[in-house]
Amino acid sequence: MTGPEILPLGLEAVLVRFATAWSEEANSAAQRLAVALAADPLPGQTEVAPGLGSVLLRFDRLTTGRMQFAAALRQRLTAPAPEPAAARHWTVPACFGGSWGADLTEAAALAGRSESALISELCATDLRVLALGFAPGQPYLGTLPAHWQMPRLPTLTPRVEAGTITTALRQIVLFAAPSPTGWRALGRTAFRPFAADAAEPFRLRPGDFLRFTPTSAENIAALIEKGDPFGGAILGFPK
């Protein structure tokens, strides 16, 4: 990975881009920069939004100019990045297939696996939160092995529910709200990545790990009816 680029974005934002193609190194660098700037903002900084390999920074044009802001940013980029906080580990109950995972059969065929093998592989993987985006608190998780490199659907699914597990491009998205999608639906959880009325509305943070544990559709339906936004998820830290 080469040094990051600082690119203008509109009138009051810049994009710090660490790579133009996916890499774990660029993703980790973007997460570290976002954490550092959230803890110690640049003069005039108003927003930090990390992506898969970049960080969007907004600034207040009434207090700083783009050249000043970019200069302060370049100086910060030369400083050693802080060590990331210990990653949190989530275990989230999930069911697969059926009406909530209507694309499981096709996804398994594209991956060259049986449905049960695909589910077992997914549930044996500690998925890293690569970024939050598209909807508040919605996680992009990954990355999965090469046989998960499956394209998006040719047409949009009009609606998937909050908690739906979808896949494309070696990644998993766990939907935070009802939405149309072009990703393949594999199953569902009762976990809610976003809760507007919570003290910490975003349940997950970039750098967290999440593992699905398989259960029945009846158990997921009961958890949804119970109304627990954690949906039976367990949060722990590695020893």
> Running DSSP on this structure, what letter comes out for residue 99?
G
Structure confidence at residue 115 (pLDDT): 98
Topology of domain 5-78, per CATH?
Gyrase A; domain 2 (3.30.1360)
Tens digit of each residue's pLDDT (9 = 90 or more) over 1-35: 667 999 999 999 999 999 999 899 999 999 999 99
Tens digit of each residue's pLDDT (9 = 90 or more) over 91-135: 999 999 999 999 999 999 999 999 999 999 999 999 999 999 999
CB 71 within 8 A of CB 158: no
SS3 label, residue 49: strand
What are the residue boundaries of the structural domains of the chain, listed by start?
5-78, 89-235
Inform me whether the pLDDT recorded for 56 exceeds 50.
yes
Q: Count of H helices and E strands in the chain?
A: 5, 14
Tens digit of each residue's pLDDT (9 = 90 or more) over 132-158: 999 999 999 999 999 999 999 999 999
Q: Mean pLDDT over residues 61-90, rounded?
A: 90
Tens digit of each residue's pLDDT (9 = 90 or more) over 180-212: 999 999 999 999 999 988 888 999 999 999 999
Is the Cα dihedral 59, 61, 66, 68 positive or negative?
Answer: negative
Topology of domain 89-235, per CATH?
Cyclophilin (2.40.100)
Inform me whether the pLDDT recorded for 88 exceeds 70.
yes
Q: Place 239 in a pLDDT band, splitting at 50, 70 and 90.
A: very low
Structure confidence at residue 236 (pLDDT): 80
Q: Mean pLDDT over residues 59-72, rounded?
A: 97
Structure confidence at residue 82 (pLDDT): 73
CB 201 within 8 A of CB 194: yes
Inform me whether the pLDDT recorded for 85 exceeds 90.
no
